[in-house]
Amino acid sequence: MHPPPDRRYSRSHAWAIRDSQGDVRSGLTHVPGAFLGDVVSVELPPPRTEVSAGEPIGLVESTTTVFELLSPISGIVVGVNPEVESAPRKVTEDPYGEGWLLSIRPSAGEELDALLTAAEYVRFVGETLHQP
C-alpha cells in the first residue's frame, strides 16, 4: 500500500488533508497498521479539545501492543470518527478512507505545509526501517 499523494504526513505516522471548510482530517498511515495486528480499541479526544503538533492525542490498542497517537498539527478538535470507535479494525483495514480518526481546525496554517509529502514519507519510512 502506498500513501496517497494528496495528503501530508508526520514522522509519527499520521496523515493529514485539508477539507473544503479548511479543517484538517487526520488518520494513521498504513505503516503502523502493518505492525499492530488486530485493533481492539481507539481512544480519541472529544470535540473542542485543544491539541498541539507532536503531542499525544489518543491511543490505538491492538491484541499485541498500544500505539500512541500524536497530533500532526495544532488546533481544536472539531470532530471524531464514530466508526472507528465502534469498529476499530477500520483504522488498519482502510487507513486512508473509513479509518480516519479526527478533524482539527488548525490554529497555524503553515504546520500542514511543513509535514512530509507522500514521496518524502516513503523515503522516511524506508530509511527508518533500514536503520541498524
- Over the chain (132 residues), the average pLDDT of each successive run of 10 is 93 96 96 88 96 96 94 97 93 95 92 96 85 54
Compute the distance between CA of residue 76 and CA of residue 71 in angstroms, rounded to an integer: 11
CB 36 within 8 A of CB 67: yes
pLDDT of residue 128: 76
- C-alpha pair distances (Å), 118 with each of 26, 40, 78, 93, 124: 14, 28, 25, 19, 10
Report which secondary-structure segment, H or E, holds 90.
helix 90-93
pLDDT of residue 85: 86
How much is the pTM?
0.92
